[in-house]
Structure 1
Amino acid sequence: MSQNEKIRALYVQPGKYPEVIKIPNTLESFQKYVGGDIGYVTLDREAVVIFNDEGKLIPLPPNRLYGPTDFFAGSFLVCGDGGEDLISLTDSQVKKYEKKYHSPLIFLELYPKLIALKCTPELYAKCMGEEHQHDAQENERDER
């Protein structure tokens, strides 16, 4: 596949439903969508998740679960695994991974566990908005 060709991928952002997009098959394009240096993991030997390699360090907001105790931070892409190249997702892969990553998650830290709750984009925005508003009010009080 030529690097100038576009591939069909699933774009998964925190607090939103996944969307199918067509993107150039270039490192620069992948970096743009994940917001920095890329890392990747293989899913089921048929697809790859491309994510921001420093997402947890920056920190980007938790997005979706990766295994029972880990998560992807920030936006990520799901692409087909063509061996040495990334390829477009098939219709069945789009359906499979859209279902897997469909619901946005709100993460609660209950040491030592991370609890993830499914929600809608509207509920996510409301919860995250209230959380940020609460933090701002506390910072304001601390400054007084």
Structure 2
Amino acid sequence: MKVVMVEPGQYARIEEMDTGLESLQKAVGGLIDCAYPWEEMVCIVCNDEGLLNGMPLNRNVENYQPIAGPFFVCGIEGEDFCSLTDEQAQRYQAMFHQPELFVPYKTGLMHLKYDDPNLPGVPDTLKKAYQERHGLPELGFCSVPNLNMIMLVKYGQTGYWPIEHFPEGMGAEEYADTLNQMIGVSKPQQTAMLYGSMFGWNIPAASPERYDENGKPKPHGQRRGNQER
């Protein structure tokens, strides 16, 4: 049957799936459960114990709740699962297309859609957007020197959103690195995003090519690319 498969940290994709119970359980990583957030005859099939088993949060479902672990969207026919129509498959793939990151924030759980050009299934339009941003992502996390705080910064915007809730036993720098790794942001990109948010996005310091693999400035002779920004 035709479904939309949605996995944490991956782009949603349309695929064909066997309707046998073993195949369904394998797709979600365990016992299956169903959610019915929409009025049309479709459902979300997810892991029955995703939250209890500590599976990563996957996508936020509007007017419902975040789903933990992998899930798929399929049609319903009587008491059985069935294929989505072509129109439904395209619509639900678009709904869940981008991977999402969930971060505790002062107003509650923040869910952030992001793009990573290194993931399978990334559209060419998103690869082009990265090139137009001179290799910078849409968002990144920067630790603040001498302050136990993380700044969430977004490309093209000044200022930041403070992230002050960290996992137990983890400092700001380590947590920022962890979040950046989850969304495919490198150390050079992290440093460039920090300077861009503080001093402007067209300055040379907002280019990741100026920094080494640890996010430290390269010697002048090692810098490449267009620095006239």
Greater radius of gyration (CA): 2
Structure 1: segments with no counterpart, 5+ residues: 1-6, 135-144
**TM-score when normalising by structure 1:** 0.77
Aligned 8 A contact 1:64 1:105 in 2: yes
Shift of 1:68: 4.7
**Structure 1: how far apart are the matches of 2:20 and 2:14?**
17
Whichever residue aligns with residue 5 of structure 2, its letter is Y
Q: 2:103 aligns with which of 103, 108, 113?
A: 108
1:104-143 paired onto structure 2 within 5 Å: 104-110=99-105, 113-121=108-116, 122=118, 130-131=177-178
Shift of 1:111: 5.2
Aligned 8 A contact 2:102 2:111 in 1: yes
Runs of 4+ in 1 over 6 A off after TM superposition: 126-129
Aligned length: 126
Aligned Cα root-mean-square deviation (Å): 2.6
Shift of 1:23: 1.1
Aligned 8 A contact 1:15 1:120 in 2: no
**Structure 2: how far apart are the matches of 1:55 and 1:97?**
21
Which has the bigger relative contact order, CA under 8 A and spacing at least 6?
A: 1
1:40-55 paired onto structure 2 within 5 Å: 40-42=34-36, 43-55=38-50
What percent of counterpart residues are identical?
33
Shift of 1:132: 7.6
Give the match's secondary structure for 1:79: strand
Q: Hey, what does 1:4 align to over in structure 2?
A: none
1:64 and 2:65 are equivalent in the alignment = no
Q: Which has the higher strand share?
A: 1
1:89 and 2:84 are equivalent in the alignment = yes
**Structure 1: how far apart are the matches of 2:25 and 2:102?**
25
**TM-score when normalising by structure 2:** 0.50
Aligned 8 A contact 1:45 1:81 in 2: no
